[in-house]
């Protein structure tokens, strides 16, 4: 009987065959599961926990990686992969515990800010250090660019948390209200601003309990007007909002994961209940989302009950979920710095110790690659050797009338037979606890031997770390009826 490795959807029944409650360190592919890359560390440690990061490209085509801690801003030195302090005169900064740096590019300037400190600006072409942004802009949690305007959301001061404000046309140092297009809007409904992003013809604001669109409308006498898109629902986790293109964004609400202004459920009866059981509810509002530009997966980092930070991912092209057990820190999409042959000496003691493939994206500067900071504050890209993958089937009745004795099984995968094991978990009835066989390797013919008997069978494939493979799609189980029960 051919038993597929199904989607990771732990909220569904384990008996209906099309879902698995246990897939770890594997990514969705069209007809099954593929490998998930591990980490490649590419820097020395930041002096503190990363609280936000970004990359920018100069006119000359060079890529600059910048990261912030609670007190300083740093640039990655791609000569020796250390961090150079480029903080402005306002440093040391004081990023609040529940806040992070927001980075927004406007032309050849990079704006960096949080709710506690003066807005910082960095000249991408001239380099140097950050400085305080001129024009006396308000402190703010969030920012984005809408056409020729820098928009700030969740401002300091009375009712600032419900306010958006934008600069003068094409001038981020001009903030005089009612002049040159600069203005503000206090939102009377929807509670505090949780974030925003540019859309064609304006920008969208996501609040705790509403979503609104601000179209560019100078003919009206105002720079932007306002339209309520969703009057009742928003997000409780501001950093969970991830925009992937016009009209397409995803976010976490109190009852699960959704997409768009109409709250299309992407996690309902699939992963929502599982996720809410895994996360420490105290930190539900701190969930951070980021899109992997190479794999087309939105990842959300969350704090589990054991205190570690893990990820759950949504593949927006395949409409499928995945998860991993690797602990991570701050996540972001970064261009790779480009590691030279001389630079290898700084990261690896010798050539034999280089675990990264030499055609890896991490060695070719400028490739968009998903990144994180490790628990010891080092920058790492998800481009290393593939992680150990665990993939379970559903709990299957091979025969509808009898128990089944399974003598062997063949895994439909391109992983080498020396690179994986397969175990058979059996149950005497629906709801019975699982009794696992020994995890066996395949013989020279590709068959994994078993002597397992039960009414239901659940197969567990484990592919070793570093194994080269691209797909695992099914288990072909060989069994015979062993008596009615």
Q: Which helix (H) or strand (E) holds 67?
A: strand 63-68
Read off the pLDDT of each residue in 456-469 and give the average, rounded to a whole number: 97
pLDDT at 294 over 90: no
Stated pTM of the model: 0.91
Q: How confident is the model at residue 158 (pLDDT cuts 50, 70, 90)?
A: confident
Q: Which helix (H) or strand (E) holds 277?
A: helix 272-278
User: Which residue in 201, 191, 115 sits closest to 152, CA to CA?
Assistant: 115
Domains and CATH numbers, the chain: 2-36+388-481 (2.60.120), 40-337+362-381 (2.130.10.10)
Q: How confident is the model at residue 341 (pLDDT cuts 50, 70, 90)?
A: very low
Residues in the chain: 485
Say if CB 300 and CB 311 are below 8 A apart.
Answer: yes
Q: pLDDT of 395-454, one tens digit each?
A: 999 988 889 999 999 999 999 999 999 999 999 999 999 999 999 999 999 999 999 999
CA distance linking residue 105 with residue 116, whole number of Å = 20
| pLDDT of the residue at 355 | 54
CA distance linking residue 61 with residue 75, whole number of Å = 17
Q: How confident is the model at residue 360 (pLDDT cuts 50, 70, 90)?
A: low
Q: How confident is the model at residue 265 (pLDDT cuts 50, 70, 90)?
A: very high
pLDDT at 351 over 50: no
CA-to-CA dists, residue 83 to 65, 110, 123, 257, 328, angstroms: 10, 18, 18, 36, 20
């Amino acid at each position: 009987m051919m038993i597929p490795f199904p989607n990771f959807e732990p909220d569904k029944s384990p008996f209906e065959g099309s879902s698995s409650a246990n897939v770890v360190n594997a990514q969705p592919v069209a007809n099954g599961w593929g490998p998930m890359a591990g980490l490649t560390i590419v820097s020395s440690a930041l002096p503190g926990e990363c609280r936000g990061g970004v990359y920018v490209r100069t006119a000359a085509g060079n890529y600059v990686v910048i990261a912030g801690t609670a007190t300083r801003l740093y640039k990655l030195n791609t000569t020796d992969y250390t961090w150079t302090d480029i903080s402005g005169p306002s440093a040391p900064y004081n990023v609040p515990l529940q806040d992070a740096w927001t980075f927004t590019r406007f032309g050849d300037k990079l704006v960096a800010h949080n709710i506690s400190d003066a807005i910082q600006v960095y000249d991408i072409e001239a380099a140097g250090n950050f400085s305080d942004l001129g024009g006396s802009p308000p402190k703010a949690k969030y920012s984005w660019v809408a056409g020729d305007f820098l928009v700030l959301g969740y401002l300091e001061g009375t009712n600032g948390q419900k306010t958006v404000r934008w600069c003068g046309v094409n001038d981020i140092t001009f903030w005089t209200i009612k002049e040159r297009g600069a203005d503000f809007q206090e939102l009377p409904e929807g509670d505090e601003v949780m974030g925003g992003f540019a859309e064609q013809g304006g920008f969208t604001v996501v609040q705790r309990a509403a979503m609104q669109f601000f179209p560019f409308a100078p003919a009206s006498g105002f720079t932007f007007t306002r339209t309520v898109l969703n009057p009742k629902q928003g997000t409780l986790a501001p950093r969970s909002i991830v925009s992937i293109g016009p009209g397409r964004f995803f976010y976490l609400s109190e009852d699960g994961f959704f997409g768009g202004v109409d709250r299309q459920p992407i996690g309902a009866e699939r992963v929502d209940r599982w996720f809410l059981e895994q996360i420490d509810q105290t930190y539900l509002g701190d969930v951070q989302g980021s899109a992997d530009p190479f794999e087309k997966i939105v990842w959300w980092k969350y704090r589990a009950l054991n205190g570690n930070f893990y990820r759950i991912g949504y593949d927006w092209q395949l409409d499928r979920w995945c998860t991993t057990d690797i602990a991570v820190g701050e996540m972001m999409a970064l261009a790779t710095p480009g590691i030279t042959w001389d630079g290898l000496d700084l990261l690896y003691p010798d050539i034999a110790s280089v675990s990264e493939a030499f055609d890896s994206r991490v060695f070719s500067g400028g490739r968009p690659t998903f990144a994180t900071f490790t628990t010891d504050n080092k920058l790492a890209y998800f481009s290393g050797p593939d992680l150990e993958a665990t993939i379970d089937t559903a709990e299957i009745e091979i025969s509808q009338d009898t128990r089944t004795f399974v003598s062997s099984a063949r895994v439909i995968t391109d992983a080498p037979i020396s690179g994986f094991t397969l175990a058979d978990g059996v149950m005497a009835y629906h709801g019975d606890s699982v009794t696992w066989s020994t995890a066996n390797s395949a013989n020279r013919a590709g068959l994994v031997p078993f002597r397992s008997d039960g009414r239901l069978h659940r197969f567990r494939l484990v592919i070793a770390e570093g194994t080269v493979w691209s797909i695992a799609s099914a288990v072909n189980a060989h069994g015979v009826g062993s008596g009615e029960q």
